Amino acid sequence: MEGYKQSKSNLFAVPAREGYLVFVTSENQIREVENSPIDQLSFHQAMEDHAGWKSINSLHFAEEISLRVNCKVIFGDRLTQNKDFLQATRDYHRQALAAMLTSHYLPHWTHKYVAPGILALGGAMKKLERFLTLEVKQRVQDMQAGKEGIPKDAITWVIEASTTKDQKAIRRVVQQVISIFFASAHQLPVLLMFSVYRLCEHPEYTKPLIDEVEAMMKLPATDHYKSLPLMESFLREAARHDPLDSLSVQRKVLKDFSFADGSRVPAGNVICVPQQAIMRDPKHYDRPDDFLPFRFADEHRDQDDAVQKFTDVKPHFYLWGAPAKPW
C-alpha cells in the first residue's frame, strides 16, 4: 500500500525472490501490458516461475526477515530502503559475530586488538558509521527546526534520551544505535526459525493466529498490537521450548561472592542461570517437553490480569534475563 500511495500512478518495484515485481498502476500502462506480444511479456512464464517449491535455508531466511524488521524499527525507512546500507548491516553483523567468537577462544589481553582488527579489516563498521553519522546529523537538524513527521525509531529515541553534552555528541549517538542493532540481531531470527518449524508441525494453529491478527487490523491504528494473547503465547512458548542459549543471567564474578545460604563463588568465575533446564522443569511447567502454543494464554484466560506478553521478564522464564535487573 505504501508503494502504491507514493507511486502517484507511476511504476514502482518491490524485490522478489528473483528480480523485482514491477507494479503498473495507471490504466494506460495496464492496457499496454494487456496488449503486449506474448514473446515479450509472458503470462505462462510468470505462472511457471511461481510453480513448485524451492528449498531455502531456514536460518538465512529468518535472518533476512529479522534484519529488515530490525532496520526499519531501529534506523527508519530512509536508511532501510538504501541497498548499500542494508548490505552494510548484513556484513557488520557477520563480522561482529566473527570478532566475538574469535575473541572467545583467545586470551583476554588480546581482545582489544583482535576484535577491532577483524572489524577494521571487514570494513562494514566504518560504512555503518558513515551512513548513520549523516542520518543522525540530519535528524538532529530536523528536530531542532521543529519539523513534523520525525521518524519514531531507535535513532530518534536515543537522541531524545540524550541529556548531557557528551551524550548528545553525534559519534556517541551513532555508537549507541549500532549497539542496539547488534544486541537485537540474535534472538529474533532464531525465534522466527523455530516458530516456523512449530507452525509446520502444528498447522492447526495457523488459522486462530491469522484470525487474531486480522481482527486486530480492523481496530484503530492506536490499538494495534496491544492485545494479541494467542500470538504472544505462541512466541513465548516457542522461545521456552527452544531458547537461543541454554544459559542466561550471566555475571562475571569480579570479587568473591557469597550467597545467603553460605555458598561462595570465587572471583574469576561466571555465575549464570540454566534457563533451558528451568524452562523444561515440571515444577514450573506442566508437560514441559511438549510444545503447547497457547499455554500462556490459557493460564490467564479466566483471570483479570493481563496475559503474559512475549517480552515480559518473569521468574522461570529467563529469555530476557532476570526480573529485577535483566542486564
Beta bridge partners of 14: 21
Supply the pLDDT for residue 87: 92
10-residue averages of pLDDT along the chain (327 residues): 62 66 67 70 64 71 86 90 91 86 84 87 91 94 90 92 89 91 80 88 92 90 84 91 80 84 83 85 90 81 59 79 59
Supply the pLDDT for residue 108: 82
Strands in the chain per DSSP E: 12-15, 20-23, 248-252, 257-258, 264-265, 270-273
Supply the pLDDT for residue 50: 55
Question: 133-139 long-range contacts, Cβ below 8 Å, gap at least 24?
Answer: 133/170, 133/171, 133/174, 135/75, 135/76, 135/78, 135/79, 136/170, 136/173, 136/174, 136/177, 137/170
| Helix H or strand E segment including 122 | helix 111-122
Supply the pLDDT for residue 325: 54
Contacts of 67 (CB under 8 A, 6+ apart): 86, 89, 90, 93, 185, 189
Give the span between the Cα atoms of 293 and 204, in whole angstroms. 11
| Helix H or strand E segment including 217 | helix 206-217
Supply the pLDDT for residue 135: 93
Give the span between the Cα atoms of 311 and 138, in whole angstroms. 32
Supply the pLDDT for residue 304: 45
Supply the pLDDT for residue 37: 73
